Amino acid sequence: MRDSADSYDYGVTRRGRKRGKFDDGESAYAKRDRHLPRLEVEDANDAVDGLTEGDRWSTWDQSTPTERGPKPHPKWLITDLAAVDYELGVLKTGKEADVFLVRRGVPGTDRSCLLAAKRYRDAGHRQFHRDAGYLEGRRVRESRVNRAVANRSEFGRQAIAGQWAYAEFNALVQLYNARVPVPYPVQILGTEILLEFIGEADGTGAPRLAETRPGPDELGSLWSQLVEAMATLASAGFAHGDLSPYNLLVHHERLVMIDLPQVVDVISHPNGRSFLDRDAKNVATWFARAGHPDADPEALARALAEEAGLRLARGPAAE
């Protein structure tokens, strides 16, 4: 998860596509999609001579091997070069990014998979109002880029977008390999990340933890999953950075952590302990209010600090 963004081509995309979009975790979610019509499966025998607006040929071959998810690739993932990405609508909107539902399928067959396409807005439409604290520990080799980022010039804002995108994809790859419950990172292309869709086959997205009302048994299971995931993250020296019940999904009683552009190295970041403490407070408070007897924010924060090897006094609060 330690950034190698200095070698990344910020804001440059292939096929002349618009710059992507990103999400700093402070998102305004679209209304729940239960009222939307379910996805209709296209006739598997329909020939695709041309693509309708919004659809595209699969971009799998445009990402380099290091810009693709860990091997072995999941069996459900479609990697055929003849596949088409059909855009099905918006899953989530935010101040920094939008997430779209995409079905990647092979024309003439019944083989397809659902993906979430996270697209970062271009430099003129992003709002970097909360990024300073997260970017403090990130530097690239070129001093020109560092100056541009500090000054928030147009080029600097583009560089920041590239840093966020690459940081999240890099984090997802490492966390997936560490068995932290995150969506499988399919690929990154420019500033668009394609992710495993967490939800049902008909396109219904999994609810956020904040939207659920679990009974005592499920609440206990979700708490145990959360503590294990956060402990695994902390033992690797990291904090989510903006963890809350709004970026935890619950899918068939399984907890899934999302929105990781601001993942923080708690060892190198000057306020790393504060981010760790804030994550613990946000989620443990929700579980305590939901009625779980073991959900103690301070106890969780101490346990995570020990996992991360932090035994110093708490730093200043994260902004």
Ordered by start, the domain boundaries in the chain are 5-177, 209-308
Q: How would residue 287 be classed by pLDDT, with cut points 50, 70 and 90?
A: very high
Q: Which CATH superfamily is domain 209-308 in?
A: Transferase(Phosphotransferase) domain 1 (1.10.510.10)
Q: Which of these ranges, 13-17, 29-33, 98-102, has the smallest mean pLDDT?
A: 13-17
- 259 belongs to the catalytic site: yes
Q: Is the dihedral of CA 182, 259, 73, 234 positive or negative?
A: negative
Catalytic residue from among 3, 23, 24, 242: 242
Question: At residue 2, does pLDDT exceed 60?
Answer: no
What gap in Å lies between CA 159 and CA 87, rounded to an integer?
27
Burial 236-267 (b: 16+ CB within 10 A, else e): bbbbbbbbbbbbbbbeeeebbbbbbbbbbbbe
Q: Which residue has the higher pLDDT, 37 or 188?
A: 188
pLDDT at 184: 98
Q: How would residue 190 be classed by pLDDT, with cut points 50, 70 and 90?
A: confident
Question: At residue 129, does pLDDT exceed 70?
Answer: no
The backbone region for 171, taken as left when phi is positive above 0, alpha when psi lies in -120 to 50, beta otherwise, is alpha
**Rg of the Cα atoms in the chain:** 20
Bridge partners (DSSP) of residue 248 are 257
Residue with tokens 């092979």: 106
Q: Is the dihedral of CA 115, 175, 4, 278 positive or negative?
A: positive
Q: Which residue has the higher pLDDT, 277 or 128?
A: 277
What gap in Å lies between CA 15 and CA 62, rounded to an integer?
9
Averaged pLDDT of the chain? 79
Token duo for residue 99 = 């997430």
What gap in Å lies between CA 234 and CA 251, rounded to an integer?
23
Q: How would residue 75 be classed by pLDDT, with cut points 50, 70 and 90?
A: very high
Phi, psi of 12 (to 5 degrees): -95, 125
- 61 belongs to the catalytic site: no
Question: What mean pLDDT comes out for the span 175-197?
Answer: 95
Catalytic residue from among 3, 23, 85, 259: 259
pLDDT at 233: 95
